[in-house]
Structure 1
Amino acid sequence: MPVTHFVVRWPDGREERCYSPSTIVRDYLRPGDYSLDTFLSHAHDALDAASERVRAKFGYACSSALDQWAVLEHTAEAYRSNPAARVTVVSVD
């Protein structure tokens, strides 16, 4: 299963390289700006779908995809108080 990385720029300008076990993330995230809630929704769906692809192929969910989701969700908490917070997906490789 081809690993795919995506780079996220948080509202404070910090960039983070993120992991997906599957290219399916490209169906959910494209380079561009997203509201915080929209980004989180798309990222959750992408990582869940990626984990399910691993389950279909190997018989178990991908804990790394679930861990990446937990990191994104935790990081996003710092920006929840700003309704105008935007997240940029810099790249999806």
Structure 2
Amino acid sequence: MPEVEFDVRWPDGSQQWVYSPSTVVEDVFTAGVAYPVGEFVALTREAMGEASRRVQERWGFPCSRAAATLASVEATAARFPTGEVQVAGFRR
């Protein structure tokens, strides 16, 4: 499966490269766009769910790294009840 990382800028200015086991994140997020924290988490949940489903279709088991990505994003987002998260770009 083609893996993708996306560069995220949190409301406090910190940066994080977020892993996706699938290019689905390129369909869900747009580089350069800022999303309200809650919307970013919801879209990440959607993207990681789809990515895991794609892995399961191909390999017969869900993707634990997609689940770990979602858990990491949710944990970081919990620190920011308000603000925006910018998706700065993608790399393969």
Q: TM-score, normalised by structure 1?
A: 0.93
Shift of 1:86: 0.5
2:78 is paired with a residue whose SS is helix
Shift of 1:29: 1.1
1:92 aligns to 2:84 (yes or no): no
Deviations 1:17-51 (A, max 9, x none): 01001111111111111111111111110111001
Structure 1: any 5+ residue segments left out of the alignment? Answer: none
How far 1:92 moved relative to its partner?
A: 2.1
Question: Aligned Cα RMSD in Å?
Answer: 0.8
Is residue 30–residue 92 contact of structure 1 (8 Å, CA) maintained in 2?
no
Counterpart code for 2:19: Y
Matches within 5 A, 1:47-66: 47-66=48-67
Under a length normalisation based on structure 2, what TM-score does the superposition of the two structures give? Answer: 0.94
Answer yes or no: is the 8 Å Cα contact 1:29–1:92 preserved in 2: no
Instruction: Show the counterpart of 1:22.
Output: 22
Give aligned-pair identity as a percent.
37
Matched to 1:86, the amino acid is E
Question: Can you give the 5+ residue segments of structure 2 that lack an aligned partner in the other structure?
Answer: none
**Residue aligning to 2:8:** 8
The amino acid across from 2:5 in the alignment is H
Partner secondary structure for residue 11 of structure 1: coil
SS at match of 1:91: strand
